[in-house]
Every structure is written in structure tokens, then in C-alpha cells.
């Protein structure tokens, strides 16, 4: 019995630690003015991984709404949003990071999804609760890709 209590309290402590670690990750996103100046991850963004996330229909799916000239080999490019060519000349890295994390902070009422927002949904199916469309690393990857356009 005593063993069991020790095990159970050990697990509870571990669970709390995981919960705190998770919260810390979510609050790492610090908005300053109209951008997020600090990278979300320690690993620098990877252009090729970013390109894949942009194209992937279950990840960024950016081409559903945006044209990107360098991805001419891809079948369909939407026109709902502006072309992403030269976008890093129009915005700073910090601004682009915020647009990717939560575009609604910049474009009021936009239909562009928030790719890395963990709160703000009134109702979510349990399996989506706390999940984001892109991971923190994918946000950095997509940003790296956008800067090459």
C-alpha cells in the first residue's frame, strides 16, 4: 500500500510537471507591438520543411488562398489572399511570425486561420483541445520559406 501511495504521488508530481511545461511552452509566445520578435524555437527555420508545410493540405494549405510563384508546379493557387511573393519586403520577421501564429491580431476578422493559437476557441473537440494547426517549429520553417520568396 505504501508503495502504491508513493508511486501515485510520484505520478501526480510528474503530471503537474508536464502540465507546467506545456503552459510554459504556450506562454513563450510574446507579442510586442505588432509582432513576435523572438523565434518560437531554438532550432532555426528550415526552408525545405517550410515549403512542405505551406503546400501540405493538412498543414499550412496556404495555396488554398495564396499564390506563390516559386510553387508553380503545384496545381491550384487561391486568390482569396494576396500573393506571397516578396512578402518579407512588406513585413518584418516579427510581423510575419505574428501573422502566422494568429493573423487575427493583424487583420481584424480575417478568414486566414490562426496556425499557432492554443486558446480563443469557445468549443473544441477534446482531441483538438490545446493543439495547433502547425507546430512551433513549423511556424519557424514556414517563416524561413517565406523569406526566400
Binding site for ligand HEC (CB under 6 A): 54, 60-62, 64-66, 80-82, 84, 87, 90, 96, 99-100, 107, 110-113, 115, 142, 146
Among residues 21 and 109, whose Cβ is nearest to ligand HEC? 109
Smallest distance from ligand HEC to CB 30, Å: 20
Smallest distance from ligand HEC to CB 96, Å: 6
Smallest distance from ligand HEC to CB 105, Å: 12
Cβ 72 vs Cβ 65: under 8 Å:
no
Ordered DSSP codes for 16-66: HHHHHHHHHHHHT---BTTB--S-SSSSPP-HHHHHHHHH-TTTT-GGGT-
Beta carbons within 10 angstroms of residue 89's beta carbon: 8
Among residues 3 and 72, whose Cβ is nearest to ligand HEC? 72
Amino acid at each position: 500500500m505504501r508503495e502504491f501511495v508513493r508511486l501515485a504521488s510520484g505520478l501526480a508530481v510528474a503530471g503537474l510537471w508536464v502540465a507546467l511545461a506545456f503552459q510554459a511552452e504556450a506562454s513563450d509566445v510574446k507579442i510586442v507591438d505588432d509582432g513576435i520578435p523572438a523565434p518560437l524555437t531554438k532550432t532555426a527555420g528550415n526552408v525545405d520543411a517550410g515549403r512542405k508545410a505551406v503546400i501540405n493540405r493538412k498543414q499550412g494549405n496556404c495555396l488554398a488562398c495564396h499564390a506563390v510563384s516559386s510553387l508553380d508546379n503545384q496545381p491550384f493557387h487561391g486568390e482569396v489572399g494576396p500573393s506571397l511573393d516578396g512578402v518579407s519586403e512588406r513585413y518584418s520577421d516579427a510581423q510575419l511570425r505574428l501573422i502566422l501564429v494568429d493573423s487575427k491580431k493583424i487583420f481584424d476578422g480575417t478568414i486566414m486561420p490562426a496556425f499557432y493559437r492554443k486558446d480563443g476557441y469557445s468549443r473544441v473537440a477534446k482531441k483538438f483541445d490545446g493543439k495547433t494547426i502547425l507546430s512551433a517549429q513549423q511556424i519557424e520553417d514556414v517563416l524561413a520559406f517565406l523569406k526566400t520568396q
